[in-house]
Amino acid sequence: MVALLAVSLSGCGKKADENITIDQAKAEAEKMNAGQLKTKAKEYYDAIKAKTGEVEKVMAKIKDIPPLEAMGEEAKELQADIKDLNTSISNLKARFQVYYDKLVEKDGDTSGLQL
């Protein structure tokens, strides 16, 4: 299931990379103009929204599990998927914030980027 989610999300967010360090993101942001910062922040924003939607889908699957199977293997796998997605969302948000803050610093247009 995790592999399926990874494949299905690989296209989401285009270039949003949750694996770059915060320092790398800050260094990159320093070199960008307001338009580039907005584009990069939007990539992270879109990736966050996509993964949030995936969390909601997995949560719906958990709700469909009968109470007697709530501690079963399927439920545990779904819980692990949610944990992984939430970790990913947290990583994406941290990087989004770097670009967003730099955009604000440069008095750029932040419309459509509110999380």
The reported pLDDT for the residue numbered 95 is 97
- pLDDT tens digits along 59-113: 999 898 888 877 888 888 999 999 999 999 999 999 999 999 999 999 999 999 9
The SS3 of residue 109 is coil
How many beta carbons lie within 10 A of that of residue 28, not counting itself? 17
The reported pLDDT for the residue numbered 7 is 37
The reported pLDDT for the residue numbered 68 is 80
Rounded to a whole number of angstroms, the distance between the first and last alpha carbons of the chain is: 27
- DSSP annotation of 107: T
- Please, is 25 exposed, middle or buried when counting C-beta atoms within 10 Å of its C-beta (0-12, 13-18, 19+)? buried
The reported pLDDT for the residue numbered 14 is 58
- pLDDT tens digits along 4-45: 344 344 444 458 999 999 999 999 999 999 999 999 999 999
Q: Is the pLDDT of residue 3 over 50?
A: no
Structure tokens given for 7: 């494949």
The reported pLDDT for the residue numbered 6 is 42
Distance CA 89, CA 63 (A): 21
